[in-house]
Amino acid sequence: MLEQHEPDLYQAVLDLEQTTPNQVSQQAQAFKSWLKDLLSTSVMPCDYCQSPLTVRIGHRLNFRCRSCRRTFNPLKKYQLNHLSHCELWLPFVDLLLQGETLKTANQQLGISPNTAAKWQSCFLWIMEKQGFSILANYCRVKRRQRYRVGNHNFV
């Protein structure tokens, strides 16, 4: 049934079945500490000239390079510079890991469902990009499962 109607989801479930819970939680820990480090870093080599002589300016994670005098934002390459409320990113990732719906994110974090949808696709994309594809897959399946509870037997 699922195989015919939603081949992508079916494949995702198969992939998940071959993944041990250990791998998922390892990737979850690693991803969250990567994100935490990114947000709290005060040392970042220059995006343009790789010089280590940079200073962080302001709380939006902008850096100025003392060598080439350009400013850069390390969040840019993850497209995170477009997202607001960085203090809510980690709690949001936790909700993603629990398979919570966008509505729950809206209720618990006070972000609009549209924003939650944008964050979700952004963080799943970053997980893939940073090599946490087991985790991204886990979040996808978890959310679809949650969404379907009551409607279908899963798998």
Asked whether position 48 contacts Zn ion by CB under 5 A, the answer is: yes
Which among 13-21, 60-68, 87-95, 142-150 is the span making contact with Zn ion, rule CB under 5 A? Answer: 60-68
Q: How far is the CB of 117 from Zn ion (least distance, A)?
A: 36
**Binder to Zn ion among 51, 84, 98, 114 (CB under 5 A)?**
51
Q: Which is nearer to Zn ion, 65 or 116 (CB)?
A: 65
Q: Which is nearer to Zn ion, 29 or 67 (CB)?
A: 67
Asked whether position 141 contacts Zn ion by CB under 5 A, the answer is: no
Q: Quick one: which of 27, 16, 23, 13 has its CA closest to 93?
A: 27
Long-range pairs for 37-42 at CB < 8 Å and ≥24 separation? 38/74, 38/75, 38/78, 39/86, 39/89, 39/90, 41/74
Asked whether position 79 contacts Zn ion by CB under 5 A, the answer is: no
Read off the tokens for 24. 């998922």
Only one residue has tokens 């005060």, namely: 42
Which among 18-26, 67-75, 80-88, 133-141 is the span making contact with Zn ion, rule CB under 5 A? Answer: 67-75
Asked whether position 72 contacts Zn ion by CB under 5 A, the answer is: no
CA distances from 125 to 4, 33, 52, 129, 135 (A): 26, 17, 28, 6, 11
Binding residues for Zn ion, rule: CB under 5 A, are: 46, 48-49, 51, 65, 67-68
